[in-house]
Structure 1
């Protein structure tokens, strides 16, 4: 059933009133989303309370907040079975699991607090991109340890794989943050998704090799199915992110429930679930062989390089946050919009639409 403005105003709003697209600054506009916008000058308390309201960010929050807690629950279960402190073989898995918990939480926080101000909106998504970048590195470390096909373990590629992942993680943070300074259009959106597609396919190169050229034993592994299926989910999520379907065809119908960014979150998490399931299977089933040759990243590689990526991303976020002050002073023309009460009040005619 389609949610109308009249239906959205039946109950008191914990996070404050909602607005239509022509009542908020252009910086806060979402393609083909007509209503359900929060006040772009919301307080922190209003932002937090808004997750219990029906607005166009509510499900963006819950579709990443809840999976984060599920991944933490999985990590807790693993910690009861695996001695992460004393078992070097498990350190790549711990790196991956911590990164898997961090990135959906960062995304959820970004979707909560991005309406506090113009600058807060950008900074929130800078942090979101940085956390996703760290996740791409966590994937690379776990793939290097548990997923790499036997045929590539004796080649140069295995030695440079993690270093290449560090470079990719750093670059994708820079590119995705820089894209937010571009004029809103399809191009910066494509640039952002390309910035993360590059490390994704780089990380998955050993998986693709295994799917195409793996040994009979590797092809028979149960994890192969989940390694393959994640590509279907991730391709679907990328398509939804770029295409803005279904709201592109029915503007106003999917503002609260069912718009493309919510579906993008859902399919991203489905891909992550398959990736995690496959990684855990490989970590367990391939241990006798990998442990015997001790061919997995060391503590220095897991902790040291992860810390390097986190530090680099923190500096990049700070740099672009400071850059915002200069950029917005020149280009922002909407800083005072909604500052007058009259502009915050919908007319009876608008409410009846």
Structure 2
């Protein structure tokens, strides 16, 4: 849980830093944007690793394989900053999509019902859908692309993205809280 909470704080802190210093100068804006980008990567990795940890608690081989893979994809994503929004979106979707493999592994191994009971996987899936939906809305620049000037202050794609990310963070927190509670009960 600590990994997840720290990754949330880093992501939201770097996002706040970006939005604060974005208007300073081109050089500062670019650096702040890179920090924002790295913060998103840290949140994605920090969201996936705790679920992998609990999903494969009794299977250290798979826990190491999936954790190593996610860390590797996260580092590659963080180091390969993309200026074009489509390429950035694709790298984020690939990073987030890397969670699908261990989730499917658990579901196939234990069944969906058990995965929901033991790992609250349904909350992780909802969080993933919210993250993906937010990313796609942000990349498409909808609704401001369709209605120029109408969404400059309220309900821009960037604001919708941030709102969906916050809801995703809450859903992932619920998943981890339920997973930890289940594991604590199972151990006692």
TM (normalized to structure 2)? 0.86
Confirm whether residue 142 of structure 1 aligns to residue 50 of structure 2.
yes
Query: In the alignment, what sits opposite 2:164?
Result: 267
Instruction: Say if 1:234 and 1:268, in contact at 8 Å, map to a contact too.
Output: yes
Confirm whether residue 160 of structure 1 aligns to residue 65 of structure 2.
yes
5 Å matches for 1:138-287? 138-146=46-54, 148=55, 153-154=58-59, 156-175=61-80, 177=81, 179-180=82-83, 188-211=84-107, 214-215=110-111, 216-220=113-117, 223-287=120-184
Partners of 1:160 and 1:232 in 2: how far apart? 24
Instruction: Say if 1:130 and 1:173, in contact at 8 Å, map to a contact too.
Output: yes
Based on CA coordinates, which of the two structures has the bigger radius of gyration? 1
Runs of 4+ in 1 over 6 A off after TM superposition: none
Query: In the alignment, what sits opposite 2:3?
Result: 95
| Alpha-carbon distance change, 219 to 128 in structure 1, aligned in 2, over 3 angstroms | closer
Q: Deviations over 1:101-121 (max 9, x none)?
A: 110111011011111111011
Partners of 1:206 and 1:167 in 2: how far apart? 15
Count of equivalent residues = 187
Partners of 1:166 and 1:149 in 2: how far apart? 16
Query: In the alignment, what sits opposite 1:21?
Result: none
Partners of 1:288 and 1:204 in 2: how far apart? 27
Query: In the alignment, what sits opposite 2:24?
Result: 116
SS in 2 for 1:239: helix
Give the structure, 1 or 2, with the largest relative contact order (CA under 8 Å, sep 6 or more): 1
Provide structure 2 residue ranges, at least 5 long, that are not aligned to the other structure: none
> CA offset at residue 132 of structure 1?
2.1
TM (normalized to structure 1)? 0.48
Provide structure 1 residue ranges, at least 5 long, that are not aligned to the other structure: 1-92, 181-187, 293-353
Partners of 2:177 and 2:117 in 1: how far apart? 16
Partners of 1:137 and 1:224 in 2: how far apart? 16
> CA offset at residue 149 of structure 1?
5.5
RMSD: 2.4
> CA offset at residue 277 of structure 1?
0.8
SS in 1 for 2:89: helix
